[in-house]
Amino acid sequence: MIFEVFRRERKGQPFQHAGSIDAPDEHFADVYAREQYGRRQESVALWLVPRNALHEIDDFPDEFDLKYRRVDGYSIKTRLREARDRAGTLESAAGEA
């Protein structure tokens, strides 16, 4: 069985993928993972996940223009200028910049 190994380096940090191990069962996987990823105290915790239990998603279609969900979907420069102009603060704003 192939197990994917995730390790947490220090408390407060996220688990990160470390690699995979090949073990006949969970008991051996436990021993192998401890030896490979923990024998120098380089991890505070490990997650072992059978590879066939993972559900991976790697396609993210973007057929519609959904840029209102991203920062690059907002261009405030022109409108801000217009608003400042109208409020009579354009000069002082330029001075600050």
Partner 1 sequence: MDTRTQEFLEYVQDGGQVETGDWMPDEYRSKLVKFIEMHANSELMGVLPERDWILRAPTLQRKLALTAKIQDEVGHAQLIYRVVADLGKPRNACLDDLVSGRAKFHNVFHYPTKTWGDVGVIAWLVDAAAIVSQKALLKCSYAPYARIMKKICWEESFHILHGRDVILALVTGTQEQFELVQEALDRWWEPLMHFHGNQIPPDEDPMFVWRIKSQANEDARQQFLDGYVPQIRELGLEIPDSALRKDEESGRWLYTEPDWEKLRAVVTGHGPASQERLDFRRLSREQVAWVEQVVLAEAA
- Number of residues interacting with partner 1: please give it, by CB under 8 A: 14
Q: Please select the residue that binds partner 1; options are 6, 18, 33, 46, rule is CB under 8 A.
A: 18
Q: Please select the residue that binds partner 1; options are 24, 61, 88, 95, rule is CB under 8 A.
A: 24
Instruction: State yes or no: residue 28 binds partner 1 (CB under 8 A).
Output: yes
* 64, 47 Cβ separation under 8 angstroms: no
CA angle 58, 61, 63 (to 5 degrees): 170
Report the interface residues with partner 1, using CB under 8 A. 2, 17-22, 24-25, 28, 32, 35-36, 58
